[in-house]
Structure 1
């Protein structure tokens, strides 16, 4: 979503919005891919997540108004960053 690179569904993190009255919409990671509602997908990387937030891509993809709280998704992605290898599209090419 943020980086706009294509990947298989197994390589992406699905998120859904949890709506609550009077407060900000909150993104919830859908690890089982079974939560109801419209979902959006993002790579398991902080770079991709940051780009999606900056571009306001979650609000467009999930068709919601207003700001979106991505704290839960960010915590998950940051905790996974040590466990997952760097995606190929984020690896830096060494030049000599």
Structure 2
């Protein structure tokens, strides 16, 4: 069995420990079970995304035509984005 040492924020560690103990009981191995489940769920999600990303041969071809419904030109969109960002800053 392997081991991994990770560093996470204190608040996240506290919440994880509390949830693991409440779910799996206040006994030895609760954190390991919760960690294994968390790693497995994360890997299944990431694996799906990576499979999709790796299946795309040409990223430009993959997104070609996605903005065909937009009636503004690229320059108009750039100006609009600049205005939106300026409003967020102020």
Relative contact order, higher structure (CA 8 A, sep 6+) = 1
Of Structure 1 and Structure 2, which has the larger fraction of its residues in strand?
1
Whether the TM-score (by the shorter chain) exceeds 0.5 is no
Rg comparison, structure with higher value = 2
TM normalised by structure 1 equals 0.24
TM normalised by structure 2 equals 0.25
